[in-house]
Amino acid sequence: MSGGVDSSVAALLLQEEGHEVVGVTLNLWSYAGRQESYNDCCSLAVVEVARQLGLEHHFLDFGQLFEREVVDRFVQGYLDGRTPNPCIWCNARVRFPALLAAAEELGCEKVATGHHVRLAREDGLYYLLRGRDPQKDQTYFLYGLTQRELRRAIFPIGELTKEEVYKLARARALSAAERPESQDLCFIPEGDYRRFLKESAEGRIAPGEIVDTHGQVLGRHEGLPFYTIGQRQGLGLAAGRRLYVVGLDPRHNRVIVGPEEELYAAGLIATEVNWPTGRPADGGEMEAEVKIRYRSPLVRARVKPLEGDKARVMFEEPQRAVTPGQAVVFYRGERLLGGGLIWRVLRADAGAEAML
């Protein structure tokens, strides 16, 4: 429970169905200057919701695990020239393992969260399905879960739209109905990730060259973590044409720029790939729809599992600004097939790719 409307209504629905509900809030991060020791997504507002629902409630400290598995990896990802998505690691490596451990300790059979996803069971396997509200579906962030987590999971609001969730909260006069949705990362004060990285990277961020895909030096950058694929503003270049960030080269500490056509990729290689229902048995290429970032539309592609935890994804149509460090998630219809982290971009022209 976070004190937000989704987890609060999830608890409400389970209670109204007759379940014995125990609320758990994970204390994951705090920072200097706050009035309480919890961050915005684990705030003391949850105490009021638990009181309203009459729930037994516990705060559990997993700050060290969160710092190691999420925050440190977030910082290192930027130093490595990637644009990480820490919410994915948090769910797979911190939140669900911690909640399962808490369930064991408290004698609970299931773990319920306020994620906008649905769960289906078929032939003894559990499948994640996209949430009923297409604007709020969160399967993208949960592809890292396994059967161990899914068999004990419940997602009470997956069949509801966000509007319906708020309507239920208001009808029951829950305090969470008046809380705005948080859009920032929970461990970055006021969303200022540049300041956070400067303070966390301990002098490891250095300025360097901005070059085109032929290696010609066009200018200077302030540090790789402050640039991302597709960026056009803030480059400080007077090239007489529109240039975009098309690659980041941590080995030589260079930002690579090019015209918009060099932003398009034919495919990608993903690593740390997880298949929630198991790796495809034949290992052959499959047709799927994929997302290359949370807010991007689904696009048709061919996905082939590779050796180890990798997979190759080839798009039916070239895609713009494919970004290493972000997740690529595979779907068939409403069903989530798997996903991984974008490791390498496969470009049709090989321009920026050849520079890395």
Which one is catalytic: 41, 42, 90, 108? 90
Which one is catalytic: 42, 87, 108, 186? 186
In whole angstroms, how far apart are CA 254 and each of 55, 156, 235, 258? Answer: 54, 47, 13, 13
| Long-range contacts at 100-103 (CB < 8 A, ≥ 24 apart) | 100/148, 100/149, 100/152, 102/24, 102/58, 102/60, 103/152
Amino acid at 276: P
Distance, in Å, from the CA atom of 355 to the CA atom of 115, rounded to the nearest integer, reads 40
For this structure, is 90 an active site residue? yes
Distance, in Å, from the CA atom of 329 to the CA atom of 310, rounded to the nearest integer, reads 13
Distance, in Å, from the CA atom of 207 to the CA atom of 211, rounded to the nearest integer, reads 13
Phi, psi of 164 (to 5 degrees): -70, -35
Question: Six-digit token pair at 316?
Answer: 């039916």
Cβ-contact 217, 244 below 8 angstroms: no
Q: Is the dihedral of CA 40, 46, 47, 48 positive or negative?
A: positive
Cβ-contact 239, 344 below 8 angstroms: no
| Region of residue 18 (left: phi > 0; alpha: psi -120 to 50; beta: else) | left
Show Cβ contacts of residue 38 under 8 Å, excluding neighbours closer than 6 positions.
25, 27, 30, 44, 59
DSSP at 22: E
Q: Is the dihedral of CA 268, 272, 277, 281 positive or negative?
A: positive
Kindly write down the DSSP assignment for every residue of 263-323, as one continuous string.
Answer: GEEEEEEEEEEE-TT-S-SS---EEEEEESSTTSPPEEEEEEE-STT-EEEEEEEEEE---
Show Cβ contacts of residue 198 under 8 Å, excluding neighbours closer than 6 positions.
205
Q: Please list the active-site residues.
A: 90, 186
